[in-house]
Structure 1
Amino acid sequence: MKTERVTAYIALGANLGDAVATISGAMNALATLPDTQLTRRSSLYRTAPIDAGGPDYINAVVEVSTALPAPLLLLQLQRLEQGAGRERSYRNAPRTLDLDLLLYGEAQLQGPALTIPHPRMAARAFVLVPLAEIAPQRVSAAQLRRVSTQTIRRL
């Protein structure tokens, strides 16, 4: 029996330590997840924190093809965050690595641990701009206009 694969999009962000190296390493680590293949990666972007303090973030988005169910994929993302030293000391705290499951096929899920599509993705240039780079069909011009005042720079 063949396992069904789903295209999922994951946002990456970091603003502590060597954020560029962390994001690059996380992209490589995502390619090694079980039953998952990294199919596209955006450029890296520098963005100012939103609703938070600390240094600028390095952000990116990747596309994966996976046979993992969404909750299990989320668990794998959280393990990678923990491996990078992620601490959740308070909401929007600076972080060594943040991995957010943005989209999982056409699924719409809402629960205490996982909501898909990601509930704040449409309000964040650091998500929409790199997502539009690798999956322009997933981001509308109107969405990009709504976040056009947020500072974002491709590295």
Structure 2
Amino acid sequence: MRMNEGVEWALHSCVNLCFIPGETVTAKRLAAFYELPTAYLNKQLQALGRAGILSSTSGPKGGFELARSPERITVLDVVTAIDGPEEAFRCTEILKAGPGADQKADYRKTCLVSMTMRKAELTYRRELAGTTIADLVGQVEQTHPETAVNTRNWFANLTS
């Protein structure tokens, strides 16, 4: 399974927005933090906005901020906003083309390959749903205590 690189960018942007609460930040400033292409990051941020994860404000003091508390935004919310809700594994029921196949069978439910892949995806989705942006922020602050201050200072000193 391969996620869109926008998932990584979106997750980091959400975490960074937690370090500068109460401020809106433009896509250009968020992109500059990691030297990302602004237009592409902006698409990811807009997707987060459509999903109700971020809110945006227009105008000279405009930008993006979290639309709800980081405790109420899961990693799965962000992944789904960027990559969509579709399942990673799509059973096409190739067993129906095999010798001795039962054309009336629903192999999506009885195929051992399909069942294994669905079980793995359920585990993956549960893990992502069980981790919030607040959890990530807490882990970052515990592992790298200087990050929050450094991030705030970087954005405060950015002139463009």
TM-score normalised to structure 1 length: 0.32
**Larger fraction in strand:** 1
TM-score, scaled to structure 2 = 0.31
The structure with the largest alpha-carbon Rg is 2
